[in-house]
Amino acid sequence: MSQYQFVQYECVGGLVTIRINRPPYNVLDIATMEEMNAALERAGGENDAKLLLVTGAGEKAFSSGVDVLDHTKDKVERMIEVFHAIFKRLLSLPIPTVAAVNGAALGGGCELAIACDMVVAAKGAKIGQPEIKLGVFAPIAAILMPKALPMTKVMELLLGGAAIDAEEAHRLGLVNHVLPKDTFAADTAKFLEQFLSLSKVALIHAKRAVREAATRPFHEALFQVEQLYLKELMATEDAAEGLNSFIEKRKPVWKNR
């Protein structure tokens, strides 16, 4: 495992893991966020990576958010710059991303989790945006939450600042699965395996299709997805391998290209 001071980085078997390593609460100060950016930049260059996992060290918190001390007038512009750079890098990654919310995900920690393509959370974990209670608001959540939740619920969460538990987050659609806390690591690994067993190029093209179609009218989206499928995906070795392996009744051997 390659480590920074405040972030742990690992790439094994197609899985890149970035773990915020400032237990117990994994607070994101400027130095930690600079390392997060470096780790995400590195993840984007991993040729063998199929999937990115973001999680926190320990059991109390995924991340309790950005350090309040970095919101002061002398630091806030730099804080916003490095914090928002995380999302620019995370959202531009072609591979699927998963947040494993092992504990509280509050403020910037909640934003980091919901910016991932999928979220699994430990039973009882608290998720929320309490920034309003400090007289500020959560810019990333203001952009991302309306894409996932009804506007009335977004307003309640962002304007009220109350945290919800993982079970309610699951009911609302912010979380894919709620997993038992005592088997969280093992159950998360099982969840990830379904993606790691697949072709990297198929995963990338499928994610791209969803993202590109999401904001377009149907006919425009259909044209874009058809072009992606016919001209790009079907030209890959793995598309041919997947179809041939099915016809030949054998397991596919992915070349990830």
Active-site residues: which are they? 111, 131
Per-residue CA distances from 56 to 171, 206, 219 (Å) = 23, 28, 41
Q: Could you give the CA distance from residue 55 to residue 40 in angstroms, rounded to a whole number?
A: 13
Read off the DSSP letter of residue 83.
Answer: H
User: CA 199 to CA 207: how far, in whole Å?
Assistant: 12
Dist. CA 105–CA 221, nearest whole Å: 34
Q: What's the order of all strands across the beta sheet hosting 126-128?
A: 61-63, 104-106, 126-128, 164-165
